[in-house]
Amino acid sequence: MTRPSMQSERIARITAMLDVSPALHLKDLAVQLGVTVMTLRRDAAQAGSGFACRGGYVVPDRNTEHYDFETQMSHAINAKQKASEYALNLVPEGAVVFLDTGTTLPHLARLLAKGRAKRLVTHCLTIAEILQGRSQVPVEFLGGEIQSSTRSCHADHPARRIAALKIDIAFLSAGGVDPEGQLSCSHAYEIPLKRALISHCVQSLIVFDESKIGQRKSVVFGDLDEVGAIVTERGIFSADELKKRLTPSATN
């Protein structure tokens, strides 16, 4: 009987690990399996492996869905602008503000470019383009590997970088919030930075349009109870208020 190849055994082991974890850190996995990062990338490129290497993580292929940035930018523009106006009112004078990627927060970036914040921080190329040469406050850009699908940059171990920036308020994007109150997005590579922002910023807020309520994308990155508020075109909601909307009262 022919013994399975080392690559086949490794792929089977990684697949089993991904059954219980939505994303595996690429470098840590290489150390755990006693191989190089390049070897893992070759494994992922193997036809039928069932996983891929993205943004420094190994993720199942099923965790990646098509996200058309251009289409989303043109969707519900008025709602996104209104949500951004509500979000602006939550920014204290002199705050250090982080702006996540997404198609709602560029509208907030235009408003913040006029002042109020002490410093703006972003990893989103679209927001950086908006602020370049227009912002009346300093702008800091977080570099890393460019992810074209969300026009953003991502680097390994973002928690240390975020903690050092002493961010007062982080505005995060989300592709959806499901009836269980779980916040989700379309790409696993977004998770480390979103988690770092939730953990290390004084306050983190979700900003999106109402169409995201009740929806769930392929990758969960947090829970409503972990953020300070949710901002939509209808106003500002606490986690409890939004949960009530997600769970209609039972009828007798």
Q: Under 8 Å CB-to-CB from 224, ≥6 apart: which residues?
A: 177, 181, 182, 183, 230, 239, 242, 243
Domain ranges of the chain: 6-63, 69-246
**The overall pTM is greater than 0.85:** no
Q: Could you read off the pLDDT of 165-209 as tens digits, one per residue?
A: 999 999 999 999 999 999 999 899 999 999 999 999 999 999 999
CATH code, residues 6-63: 1.10.10.10
Let me know how long the chain is. Answer: 252
Distance (Å) of CA 95 to CA 1, 112, 134, 165, 203 = 66, 11, 19, 12, 11
Query: What pLDDT was estimated at residue 21?
Result: 65
pLDDT band at 19 (very low <50, low <70, confident <90, very high): low
What pLDDT does 249 receive? 56
Residues forming beta bridges with residue 187, ordered by sequence position? none
Best CA proximity match to 106, nearest among 133, 136, 126, 86: 126
Q: Is there a common fold for 6-63 and 69-246?
A: no
pLDDT in tens, 118-156: 999 999 998 998 898 889 999 999 999 998 888 899 999
Which CATH fold would you assign to the domain 69-246?
Rossmann fold (3.40.50)
13 in helix, strand or coil? Answer: helix
Strands 51-54 and 57-60: antiparallel
| Each residue's pLDDT tens digit, 73-123 | 446 788 999 999 999 999 999 999 999 998 899 999 999 999 999 999 999
